[in-house]
């Protein structure tokens, strides 16, 4: 048996908190085994703004930058927006527009589709209330209409790329 450092009453060995005053026990094994209330707290946020940013600017990585995922946002920006536009601009500037059947066009389409797919997965997770920030402390919630908009946006974008 140990004693509470706050009130001085006896505390059972496996107790993480004092049964009398509720203070945390000095017993380190029990204190480590007890789950922290702060760790389990998840802040629920409205995902409407995040969803619309993903829908409108998904290939630029805006969603990822807003949610604290800069590496992922940078990859979206490079492979979904920047590289395809830069290559197309360079080719057109040299007087050689991209042939729709060349390997360059295929690579640009594939990179754009991969970013589109990952953006749509992020949007579906927001709509299904399963999207968390990179630290895992915030959960973004959405609405059912977002699922329909995501599917429509995917197919429209997919067909415009081919």
Q: Tens of pLDDT along 53-87? A: 888 887 788 888 887 888 888 888 888 777 777 77
Q: Is the pLDDT of residue 148 over 80?
A: yes
Q: Is the pLDDT of residue 37 over 50?
A: no
H-type alpha helices, 19-78? 28-33, 37-40, 48-57, 62-66, 70-76
Query: Are both 156 and 108 inside the same structural domain?
Result: yes
Q: Quick one: tokens of 33?
A: 């085994």
What are the tens digits of pLDDT across the range 79-105?
Answer: 877 777 777 777 666 666 666 667 767
Total domains in the chain come to 2
- Here the contacts of 61-69 (C-beta below 8 Å, separation 24 or greater) are 63/119, 63/122, 64/122, 67/133, 67/134, 67/140, 68/133, 68/134, 68/135, 69/134
Query: Are both 64 and 17 inside the same structural domain?
Result: no
Give the domain extent around 61. Answer: 43-161
């Amino acid at each position: 048996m140990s004693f509470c450092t706050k009130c001085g009453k006896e505390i059972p060995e496996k107790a993480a908190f004092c049964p009398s005053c509720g203070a945390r026990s000095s017993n380190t094994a029990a204190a480590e085994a007890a789950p922290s209330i702060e760790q389990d707290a998840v802040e629920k946020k409205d995902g409407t703004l995040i969803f619309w940013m993903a829908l409108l600017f998904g290939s630029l990585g805006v969603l990822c930058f807003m949610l604290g995922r800069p590496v992922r946002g940078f990859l979206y920006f490079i492979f979904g927006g920047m590289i395809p536009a830069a290559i197309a601009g360079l080719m057109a500037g040299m007087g050689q527009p991209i042939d729709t059947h060349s390997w360059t066009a295929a690579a640009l389409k594939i990179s754009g589709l991969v970013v589109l797919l990952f953006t749509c997965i992020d949007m579906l997770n927001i709509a299904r209330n399963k999207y968390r920030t990179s630290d895992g402390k915030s959960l973004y919630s959405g609405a059912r209409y977002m699922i329909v908009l995501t599917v429509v946006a995917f197919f429209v974008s997919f067909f415009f790329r081919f």
